[in-house]
Amino acid sequence: MKQSGISRRHFFLGSLLAGAVPAGGYGAVPSLGRMGYKSPNEKLNIAAIGAGGKGRSDLAGCATENIVALADVDEKSAAESFAKYSSAKRFKDFRKMLDQMEKQIDAVIVSTPDHMHGMATMWAMQRGKAVYCQKPLTHTIWEARELTAGAEKYGVATQMGNQGYSNEGTRQAAEILWSGEIGDVTEVHAWTNRPIWPQGVSKVPKGEPVPSTMDWDSWIGVAEMRPYSPEYAPFAWRGWYDFGCGALGDMACHILGSVNMALMLGAPESVEVISQEGKNPHTFPTQSVIRFDFPARKTMPPVKVFWHDGAKDAAFRPEGLEHEPRLIPIAPDAERRFYEQAKKPRTRQEIDQFEARSQANGAIFMGTKGFMSTDTYANAVQLMPQKYYHGYEMPDEWLTRSPGHYRDWIRAAKGGERSCSDFSIAGPFTEWILLGVLGLRFEGKLEWDAKAMKVTNRPEANEYIQPHPRKGWDWAG
């Protein structure tokens, strides 16, 4: 049965806390007009900090605009982008790029390793540049708080690269939950098959000669200097505490996006590591289970959010529903293509393999009346038990739809509607994700005072709240 519209109390709470914005839109970023931003018909002049790796796809996402400058510490990693955007000026040090080309740049993409997100983004914002920063927004909680405040102070358009926040399924999940269809949600389980890079490594690797194509000093940036090793760069840095945020930083910003929006999560009261394997002081564990405890939010009860990192099973299922088919209100494009574009009927083995891949990452909302799950980027929203949902119709669309994550940011950078994962949303979201990273360093529960930005029961944990930049790498420019 089709559900009635969402109540106004949900509408206002959602818009304030989790980027759940009414269909009328976000409202333009207040200061963009004053700053002389381009009209929608003009192209932005975009610079990239990090042109290899993820930077390649971020640049491709902004291919409608002018790519005028590229900064990357590794010529080999960035070679493809250098060739593709051959007219763009090249730099190894992004600080020189921002200083020398400040008047020629409108917007900046930040696609570096996690530990450099905060500094690079702040330098760009201080120069009045719109910023698209990869997830997680920052490497530490303090940096996330600073970028949230900085985006407001400098009046620039921002977006974190958790593209699932722009997907239809993220909005569907919120609208289904707010309609009351699955009742009150007091528990969520999210899982990932990551890491796919080394973790549980208890020894620091021996140093090796720095490749001739790499500026190792600039790659290290704000972190403490150490010898080069291919076990850090160009890819495996995610598993090291000093450079990355593990699978939490890589995947939780995607998988928990629908959870953050639908449940209107603010800051948790505590985080507790339930279990972990391969704990060591250098890298993230090979497997872990973390619980975040969130207080009641207006009409919503307290909720426990469990994060299963390095999950051994394909997907978490509620007890008694391990083999229950899941009903998809609107089939995702990927599933439609899987079946419709096949030259002959799919075999059971092909179907099982497809479903296993699609369930390698996801989240399930456990309600008092039913269950709802989402996949990695919320491409699919699924309901259980199936018998309750035959003939189900989606509730009315109360939330504004995104034109696509990059286009959403580009529109905002030209003075249009605020982007759906701007730093006022992505900053607080990143803070609670990083509280999980902090929890992995310690045993037991960490009690969190979000306003004071400190752990109240384990003072030693507060050492990791704020970065300690290396000399010569001032965090703010």
CATH of the domain at 146: 3.40.50.720
Q: How many structural domains does the chain have?
A: 2
Instruction: Determine, yes or no, domain membership for 329.
Output: yes
- Residues 205 and 333 occupy one common structural domain: yes
| Rounded-to-integer distance, Cα 429 and Cα 256, Å | 9
CATH of the domain at 201: 3.30.360
8 Å CB contact between 106 and 118: no
Higher pLDDT, 21 or 82: 82
Averaged pLDDT for residues 423-439 = 98
- Residues 147 and 194 occupy one common structural domain: no
- Residues 219 and 301 occupy one common structural domain: yes
Q: Where are the alpha helices (DSSP H) in 41-197?
A: 54-61, 79-84, 94-100, 117-126, 141-154, 168-178
State which H helix or E strand residue 280 sits in: none
| pLDDT tops 90 at residue 356 | no
- Residues 278 and 311 occupy one common structural domain: yes
The conformation of residue 258, written as its DSSP 8-state character, comes to: H
- Residues 159 and 213 occupy one common structural domain: no
Write out pLDDT tens, residues 220-266.
999 999 999 999 999 899 999 999 999 999 999 999 999 999 999 99
Instruction: Determine, yes or no, domain membership for 436.
Output: no
- Residues 60 and 90 occupy one common structural domain: yes
Instruction: Determine, yes or no, domain membership for 290.
Output: yes
- Residues 247 and 133 occupy one common structural domain: no
Higher pLDDT, 421 or 326: 421
Instruction: Determine, yes or no, domain membership for 459.
Output: no
pLDDT confidence of residue 36: 52
User: How buried is residue 282: exposed, middle or buried, by Cβ count under 10 Å (0-12/13-18/19+)?
Assistant: middle
CA 207 to chain centre: 32
Q: What is the CA radius of gyration of the chain?
A: 22
Instruction: Determine, yes or no, domain membership for 267.
Output: yes
- Residues 213 and 354 occupy one common structural domain: yes
Instruction: Determine, yes or no, domain membership for 11.
Output: no
What percent of the chain shows pLDDT beyond 90? 71
For residue 30, what pLDDT band results from cuts at 50, 70 and 90?
very low
pLDDT confidence of residue 18: 44
- Residues 160 and 171 occupy one common structural domain: no
Instruction: Determine, yes or no, domain membership for 132.
Output: yes
- Residues 335 and 212 occupy one common structural domain: yes
For residue 335, what pLDDT band results from cuts at 50, 70 and 90?
low
Provide the residue range defining the domain that includes 338: 166-388
Instruction: Name the 3-class secondary structure at 350.
Output: helix
- Residues 170 and 160 occupy one common structural domain: no
Write out pLDDT tens, residues 122-177.
999 999 999 999 999 999 999 999 999 999 999 999 999 999 999 999 999 999 99
Higher pLDDT, 378 or 272: 272
Averaged pLDDT for residues 354-375 = 83
Write out pLDDT tens, residues 16-29.
334 455 454 444 44
- Residues 212 and 114 occupy one common structural domain: no
- The lowest-confidence range among 11-25, 150-164, 321-335, 417-431 is 11-25
Averaged pLDDT for residues 390-405 = 88
Instruction: Determine, yes or no, domain membership for 474.
Output: no
What strands lie across the sheet with 371-375, from one edge to the other?
381-384, 371-375, 361-367, 185-192, 303-309, 287-294, 270-277, 445-449, 454-455
